[in-house]
Structure 1
Amino acid sequence: MGKKTKISKQPYFISWPVLALMSFVTVIGFDDLIYNFKNQGMGVITSWILMLLLYVIPYSLMVGQLGSVFSKEGGGLSSWIRETNGEFLGYFTAWTYWAASIPYVVDTANSVVVGLGWAINGSNKFQENISNSEFAFWTLLVFVFFVLIQSQFKHSLELLSSFGGIAMFGMTILFVIMAITSLTMGGKFATQPFNLDAIIPKFNLKYLTTLGLLIYAVNGCELIAPFVTKMKKPQREFPKSMIMLVVMTAFLTIFGSFSLGIFFNAHHLPNDLKMNGSYYAFQALGQQYHVGNVFMYLFAWTEVIYLAALLAVLLDAMTRMLISDTGKEFMPHFLRKTNKNGLPINGYILTCLLSGFILLLGIFLPDMNDIFNWLLNLNGIISPGVTCWIFYAFMRVRRNSVKYTSSYVFIKNNVIAWWVGFWTFSITLIATIFGIAPQDVKIFSGIWWYELFINIIAIGTLIGLGALLPLITKREKYMKKN
């Protein structure tokens, strides 16, 4: 018998267009266009251009290098900080990343309730006819429901959220194309006057308070960091992926904002645009094409399915990440404890309690629209704050580039690279600080002061608890020894 020929297995590489598409799904969505259009009107077009050129490009390329440097650690944000700054800051990064997810999942649950109202009634009647306490009750009910089912259908929900995310982008692109095409069919441009002044934002204090939601809209690049090392030639191919990402994002944000100006007068926007704007937009598109609410219903059910699946996956992933990605010396045993199915049940309870606390803070606001806007704006504070860790890690890596080598390097000159990292860090920190000032309400009014107060309370509680847990763990170990 002859010798068997040994067949060598060819390594699998991710192509740069595929990586760009993977990134695109994590970065921008239709609701992000609505939120920032409400904040800045048509001026947001200029803001998107500046953001993409001066922030998104360096941000995504820095993430590429960090993913390449720490490929053996899985490319997670907390591992980047742990490797550059030690165990405690690694733990604290994991905690703040988790804490940032709390307002996000509450906001997602809120959006599910709003979406169901539109999907069933075909209007905003549901939101108008319920009280704040009823809104909080329905949100909490949705929240608890998905905590209960996520462990049973985890993998199918991950698949459903992925398909839902792609479908959402499909709906967004459909809206942009059909909205612009409607102008050639006799449609009128609602934003008047539409001139150069209309697309130049007013760079004042209010503008600074809206930067956080712009950053919140475009962050998420760190999720694709682990895939950098799976490219055949990352040094050459990864920048191509990020340029493709920026081009696609530019198309969606610039033409998407322009399309919104076709149906909404940017100088006089509805007060509830952040909560109901997506549905108003697709409703207006259907009227323009004489098909009634077809597009709105299609969008509403796509939104509900996608957000519901995303909520279930988030609840599981964020809790597991926190429990597994923190050292035993910082996380109390009762939070790391799992049931017979391996689920960190006490971690889920903590998530529910903190989410209920966030809901309770907002329940005393005047109406449902104020609660929705406040929760959304809270994300615009906490999410950019966590993103600061990315640029801090990058600056540390470039301070010691001999130690932290990688197959992909963003800007070969360490001094220039460090200053670019400092630039993005500074912008993100400024956006975080100014984001604490309330939006969507009259400045220095009673509601403004109340929102400022609950912003500080929410941030202080979420971050402060992370600093308190290591002390509880230390006490726990002391009691066990004695």
Structure 2
Amino acid sequence: MSENIKSKKKLTLIPLSLMVLTSVFMFPNVPRAFLLMGYAAIPWYILAAITFLIPFAFMVGEYGAAFKKEKGGIYSWMKKIVGPKYAFITIFMWYIGWLVWIILTCNSIWIHFSTIIFGTDTTSGWSILGMNSTHTLGLLSIIFAILLTLISTKGLDKIIKITSVGGISVGFINLVAYIGAIIIFIAGKGHMDQPLNMNTLLHSPNPAYGSAVSILSFISFAILAYAGIEVVAGVVDDTENSEKTFPKGVLMGSIIIAVGYILGIFACGIFTNWQGVLSGKDINMVNVTIIMMNNMGYQLATAIGLSHTTALVFSSWIGRLVGLSMFLTYFGALISYSYSPLKQLIEGTPKELWPGKLSEIKDGLPKNAMWVQCILIVFFMLIVSLGGQGASKFFDKLVLMTNVATTLPYIFMSSVFYKFKKNTSIEKPFVIYKSHTSSLIWTILVTFTVVFANVTVIIKPALTGDIVSSIWMIAGPLIFSIISILMYARYEKIISTQKHI
């Protein structure tokens, strides 16, 4: 009886594929890709799926199965393969990337909140107690970050409920975008606002992506759009007939993700002319989703015969619904990522690395560390919002520093895969790469893809005369590595002292 119940809980092909899809696919990546490259983003999404997404997912699947009893995730994998110091540098850099993402999203989420209330982004005119908009948004973001931590420390059951709302919201945005595009396409008798031909598939309408290096650098964006695939490593053991089901599920989920991004970019072209809608100076990576969906609402209303005035009202309400969905999506993601990367960092590493009671886990959460993280977030927000233009430039540098550092853990994880395969002392209950030759080929290909993406991202600003940005992107990983090495040296000193007592 118990065996039957247990087998029912195992993941089958379709649920596993859907898990891969929901872990990776983020709709905002679609309008952002269209903003940067138009239809020319499509070949790069396909290339990144073949050379990174699918083979890397198989790698982390093997890691996850081999180290399923370890709690530390990435740290545990790297520690067993190449040693604890390398492992700590990897996971520390991975965590820093998420920390900066939380800070950025706590600020940008107010654009979506504004859209819910007003139908458009009005944050540039916000003021509380006579403060300017920058100070006002800073104050609101600080309050939001504290509230976020307060909710997150209440327990995993509360977190699961909130993140499930975020997942439903993602589905809503996709439905609105794709169904709206289909109606507009049919009503327009196959007309596409952005012309589709071989030239538009190869060349970006964005002047910033006109050079060969800038076009090649887009693969970095595609890789980040596929980020999160490492989470499937934890479910290999919970997959029914994992040897056959897991690779099929990952492959199916990956194909659905890639096709979803590709169809989404085509859908954007149906109702958005790049020059007419996206060429303005006020369009950016944060507000482009709202702007494009507003435009979709207007196009949909006129396609079904509504008047210009009614179409504008309809467009505004589409914007509000999308703003609400985006707010809930990011709110759910922020709740999840306010604890999960930190938990993996704290739980997987030696407790002596962390001063005081930072390493304590209460109710399954590193609550003390979460409040220290909150203090760090508030500190950076205060610097940026109160420090004027100089502070804003400082934070821009911080973002540049994490651009490359965010993808470096993928290089670390993929580059040691061949060493992992050759280590006969590590039990490997789940194997996709059957031979050392195939393991070596895919180790080289995946690692080269991410290294190549980073190199092009680094040299792109320098080629346009912005050498400072390139330097900061190189400095980021170096600085974070030095910090992690110093932290690890302190830990080694503590351990050495304990041994001599």
Would the TM-score normalized by the shorter structure come out above 0.5?
yes
Alignment-derived partner of residue 311 in structure 2: none
Contact 1:100 1:379 in 2 (8 A): yes
Aligned length: 470
- Is the alpha carbon distance of 1:378 and 1:116 closer, same or farther for their aligned partners in structure 2, counting shifts above 3 Å? farther
In structure 2, list runs of 5 or more residues that go unmatched. Answer: 127-131, 204-209, 302-313
Structure 1 Cα separation of the partners of residues 318 and 155 of structure 2: 29
Match of 2:454 among 419, 423, 432: 432
Structure 2 Cα separation of the partners of residues 174 and 247 of structure 1: 22
Contact 1:42 1:266 in 2 (8 A): no
1:249 aligns with 2:257: yes
1:269 partner letter: S
1:233 aligns with 2:236: no
1:259 aligns with 2:277: no
Shift of 1:451: 4.1
1:282 partner letter: M
Match of 2:6 among 5, 11, 20: 11
Alignment-derived partner of residue 411 in structure 1: 433
- Is the alpha carbon distance of 1:347 and 1:195 closer, same or farther for their aligned partners in structure 2, counting shifts above 3 Å? same
Identity %: 18
Structure 1 Cα separation of the partners of residues 383 and 413 of structure 2: 31
1:90 partner letter: A
Question: Which one is further off, 60-69 or 249-258?
Answer: 60-69
In structure 1, list runs of 5 or more residues that go unmatched. Answer: 1-5
Alignment-derived partner of residue 289 in structure 1: 300
Contact 1:97 1:386 in 2 (8 A): yes
Alignment-derived partner of residue 41 in structure 2: 44
- Is the alpha carbon distance of 1:319 and 1:165 closer, same or farther for their aligned partners in structure 2, counting shifts above 3 Å? same
**Per-residue CA distance 1:52-82 (angstroms, 9 max, x = gap):** 2232221222222222222222582221111
Contact 2:92 2:345 in 1 (8 A): yes
Contact 1:154 1:312 in 2 (8 A): no
1:304 aligns with 2:327: yes
**Per-residue CA distance 1:311-353 (angstroms, 9 max, x = gap):** 1332222333222211134334464367999754255324532
Contact 2:93 2:477 in 1 (8 A): no
Alignment-derived partner of residue 444 in structure 2: 422
Alignment-derived partner of residue 150 in structure 1: 152
Contact 1:319 1:351 in 2 (8 A): no
Alignment-derived partner of residue 184 in structure 1: 186
Structure 1 Cα separation of the partners of residues 181 and 50 of structure 2: 26
Contact 2:145 2:377 in 1 (8 A): no
Contact 1:211 1:435 in 2 (8 A): no
- Is the alpha carbon distance of 1:356 and 1:206 closer, same or farther for their aligned partners in structure 2, counting shifts above 3 Å? farther
- Is the alpha carbon distance of 1:80 and 1:145 closer, same or farther for their aligned partners in structure 2, counting shifts above 3 Å? same
**Per-residue CA distance 1:335-392 (angstroms, 9 max, x = gap):** 4367999754255324532674488479766999x99998877664232112122212
Task: Give the CA RMSD over aligned residues.
Answer: 3.4
Alignment-derived partner of residue 269 in structure 1: 279
Structure 1 Cα separation of the partners of residues 421 and 151 of structure 2: 44
Structure 2 Cα separation of the partners of residues 176 and 239 of structure 1: 28
- Is the alpha carbon distance of 1:190 and 1:33 closer, same or farther for their aligned partners in structure 2, counting shifts above 3 Å? same
SS in 2 for 1:71: coil
Shift of 1:109: 1.1
Question: Which one is further off, 79-88 or 462-471?
Answer: 462-471
- Is the alpha carbon distance of 1:151 and 1:100 closer, same or farther for their aligned partners in structure 2, counting shifts above 3 Å? same
1:465 aligns with 2:483: yes
Contact 2:414 2:446 in 1 (8 A): yes
TM-score, length basis structure 1: 0.85
Alignment-derived partner of residue 223 in structure 2: 215
- Is the alpha carbon distance of 1:210 and 1:139 closer, same or farther for their aligned partners in structure 2, counting shifts above 3 Å? farther
Shift of 1:210: 2.7
- Is the alpha carbon distance of 1:237 and 1:337 closer, same or farther for their aligned partners in structure 2, counting shifts above 3 Å? closer
Structure 2 Cα separation of the partners of residues 458 and 137 of structure 1: 27
Structure 2 Cα separation of the partners of residues 248 and 211 of structure 1: 19
1:22 partner letter: M
Structure 2 Cα separation of the partners of residues 18 and 341 of structure 1: 26
- Is the alpha carbon distance of 1:395 and 1:37 closer, same or farther for their aligned partners in structure 2, counting shifts above 3 Å? farther
Alignment-derived partner of residue 3 in structure 1: none
Shift of 1:110: 2.3
Contact 1:209 1:437 in 2 (8 A): no
1:84 aligns with 2:81: yes
Shift of 1:132: 4.1
Structure 2 Cα separation of the partners of residues 381 and 53 of structure 1: 21
Match of 1:122 among 109, 119, 134: 119
Shift of 1:462: 3.6
Structure 2 Cα separation of the partners of residues 69 and 15 of structure 1: 20
User: Structure 2 matches for 1:378-417, cutoff 5 A?
Assistant: 380-400=403-423, 402-417=424-439
SS in 2 for 1:120: helix
Shift of 1:223: 0.4
Contact 2:106 2:144 in 1 (8 A): yes
1:165 aligns with 2:187: no
TM-score, length basis structure 2: 0.82
1:110 aligns with 2:121: no
